[in-house]
Amino acid sequence: MTKPLVAVLSGAGVSTDSGIPDYRGPDGLWRKDPGAEKLVTYEYYMGDPEIRRRSWEMRLRTGALRAEPNAAHLAVAALEKSGTPVRVITQNVDGLHQLAGMPARKVLELHGTARAVVCTRCRARGPMADALARVEAGEADPPCLECGGVLKPATVMFGERLDPVVLGDALAVSKACTVFVAVGSSLQVQPAAGLAGVAADHGARLVIVNAEPTPYDDLADEIVREPIGGALPKLLAELRAR
C-alpha cells in the first residue's frame, strides 16, 4: 500500500524562532521599514549602486547565514526520516530545512536561496559566504569575479519570475499529496499561496498553522493558531502515528 504524501508549505513564520524576522507579521520587516522592500526589488537593485550597497550591508548585519534550524524544521525532517513521504515547498530562502536534515532534492525553494549568489550577466554562481567576506574586506558592491557583472543573491527578488521548473514541481506535489500543511505563511503571495487551494481542490486534507487568519482558512480542515515551535512538532507527530 502506498504511503500518503505529506506536503509542507513553509513561510517566514517557520524561521522566526531561528532569529530570522518575518515580513508581513505584526513585527514584520516590511511593516517596520517599508523602505527595506526596495533592497530586494530587482529594478531598484539593478539601477542603483547605493541600493546594492545597503542590500549587502543588510545581509552582513542580519547574519542570516548563522541561523540554526529550530524545532519546526527538525520536526519536518524527523517526519521524513520516519519513512513518511514528505516534500517541502518553501517560500523561505534560508536553507534551514536542508540544514535540519531534509534531503535537498525533497525541498522546493520557490524563492531561491540566500546561501548563494548569481551574476546577472553571465549567470555564474558562488557561495554567499564568499561574497559577504568580500564586503567585509571593503568591497561595498562586489562584482562578479568571472565577468565583472552585477552580483545578486540567488533569490527571486520582487519583479523577477519564479523558476517555472520549481513552480511546476510544486504544483505537481500539491495535486498529488494526501495532506497539505501550510505553516507560518500569510498565504497572501501568489502563486505560492494558491498551492493550498490546489491541494484542497484535489482532495488533500488542508491544515493551516499560522498566528493570523489567511485567505484560505475557509478551505482548511484544521486551523492551528498556537506558536509554531510547539504546534508543528505535535501535529507532525500525530500524522506519523496515524
Give the pLDDT of residue 60: 87
Q: Is the pLDDT of residue 23 over 90?
A: no
pTM of the entire predicted model: 0.90
Mean pLDDT of 78-98: 96
Residues marked as catalytic = 111
Q: Where are the domains of the chain?
A: 1-20+69-111+161-242, 27-66+113-155
Mean pLDDT of 113-140: 96
Helices assigned H by DSSP within 63-184? 71-81, 96-99, 128-136, 164-176
Task: Give 108 or 63, the one with higher predicted confidence.
Answer: 108
Helices assigned H by DSSP within the chain? 29-32, 42-47, 49-62, 71-81, 96-99, 128-136, 164-176, 194-201, 228-241
Residue corresponding to grid cell 540554526: 68
Q: Is the pLDDT of residue 173 over 80?
A: yes
pLDDT digits (tens, 9 = 90+) for 31-70: 556 667 888 899 999 999 999 999 999 888 877 788 899 9
19 CB contacts (<8 Å, ≥6 apart)? 67
Mean pLDDT of 63-91: 94
- The torsion region of residue 167 among left (phi > 0), alpha (psi -120 to 50) and beta comes to alpha
Give the pLDDT of residue 214: 95
| Strand, coil or helix: 5 | coil
Instruction: Supply the mean pLDDT for the chain.
Output: 92
Give the pLDDT of residue 33: 61
Q: Is the pLDDT of residue 189 over 90?
A: no
Mean pLDDT of 155-164: 94
Give the pLDDT of residue 1: 44
CATH class of 1-20+69-111+161-242: alpha beta
Fold of 27-66+113-155: SIR2/SIRT2 'Small Domain' (3.30.1600)
Mean pLDDT of 84-92: 97
pLDDT digits (tens, 9 = 90+) for 190-242: 899 999 999 999 999 999 999 999 999 999 999 999 999 999 999 999 988 87
Q: Is the pLDDT of residue 6 over 80?
A: yes
